Amino acid sequence: MSDKIVCDCMGTTVEDIKVAVANGAKTVEDIKEATEAGTVCCGCDCELETTLHEVL
């Protein structure tokens, strides 16, 4: 599950989000800043939010 791609545009995985959270990310905006996920087409915003809540 950690290698599941959350953001196709940037290749961001669940593991990348876990690392961002471990480094202090608490919001979707924090995740975007840390990983650049959701910064191209924004099509993964819902997936980012869901994953963030699962990781927290």
Residues 6 or more apart from 54 whose CB is under 8 A from it? Answer: none
Provide the 10 A C-beta neighbour count for residue 50.
Answer: 13
What are the tokens at 31?
């995740």
pLDDT over 80 at 55, yes or no? yes
Going by pLDDT thresholds of 50, 70 and 90, the confidence category of residue 46 is very high
- Domains of the chain (ranges plus CATH)? 5-55 (1.10.10.1100)
| pTM of this structure | 0.91
Rounded to whole angstroms, the Cα distance separating 42 from 23 reads 23
pLDDT at 2: 78
Which residue shows structure tokens 């915003």?
A: 45
Name the nearest CA neighbour of 4 among 22, 16, 28, 38.
16
What mean pLDDT value characterizes the chain? 95
pLDDT over 90 at 14, yes or no? yes
